[in-house]
Amino acid sequence: MLTTGPKCLASVRTKPKQLRLDAIRCVNLRARYWGYNLDTRALRNTLGQFATGVCILTTQTSDNRSIGMTVNSFAAVSLDPALVLWSIQNTSECFKEFTECERYGISILKSSQQALSDRYARSLAHEMDVADRIVDDAGVPLVKDALATLSCRLTALHQGGDHHIIVGEVDALTHSEGEPLVFFSGGYQRLA
């Protein structure tokens, strides 16, 4: 039975080991029950302690525009087959384009490309400037002079709360030497 209230918490301090364990379990269950109350700011701050690179995700729309969006949820999934993932907010104005496209590009930014990261994180401004763009053999737009690029085919889409997880198989890639743009604790950082 799940005991609730201060009595249950008080036993943490005063009772023998088994009761203490029961009380800890009770606190954990209550935390899970109250999970919907999790402080969003605290969650953002906690997740922000995970340092990431910064990418610009790109695709060609059905009406032939190249769009770009700044993302740091990119992660490797599998080497064989070569799979990667990233997640997009369900409310993003780019949601339809990225969840319905066949192919998309991932451009990993250099430390000198912070302005591009800011540029493609703005709402109502996702259409790519021609000067920022190259197009690969598969017709996928990519960011010019990026540290590394992956040209992907969308292979799976999963719901994940207020985001969707987009999985892609890598068809082509490029990489170069250089310092990555790093995002940590809500801001850009340099590698020490």
- Nearer of residues 103 and 126 to ligand FMN, judged by Cβ: 126
Is residue 132 within 8 A of residue 141, CB to CB? The reply is: no
In the complex, minimum distance from the CB of residue 137 to ligand FMN, in angstroms, rounded to a whole number: 27
CA distances from 98 to 67, 135, 139 (A): 9, 17, 15
Q: What's the CA gap between 181 and 109, in Å, rounded?
A: 6
- Nearer of residues 106 and 140 to ligand FMN, judged by Cβ: 106
Contacts to ligand FMN by CB under 6 A: 54, 69-73, 86-89, 92-94, 117, 121, 123, 183
In the complex, minimum distance from the CB of residue 78 to ligand FMN, in angstroms, rounded to a whole number: 19
- Nearer of residues 26 and 109 to ligand FMN, judged by Cβ: 109
- Nearer of residues 60 and 72 to ligand FMN, judged by Cβ: 72
Count H helices and E strands in the chain, helices first. Answer: 5, 12
Structure tokens at 66: 């190249």
Which 8-state DSSP code applies to residue 178?
S
Q: How many CB atoms lie within 10 A of CB 65?
A: 13
- Nearer of residues 160 and 178 to ligand FMN, judged by Cβ: 160
Is residue 143 within 8 A of residue 58, CB to CB? The reply is: yes
In the complex, minimum distance from the CB of residue 132 to ligand FMN, in angstroms, rounded to a whole number: 15
In the complex, minimum distance from the CB of residue 70 to ligand FMN, in angstroms, rounded to a whole number: 4
In the complex, minimum distance from the CB of residue 37 to ligand FMN, in angstroms, rounded to a whole number: 24
Q: What's the CA gap between 186 and 54, in Å, rounded?
A: 12
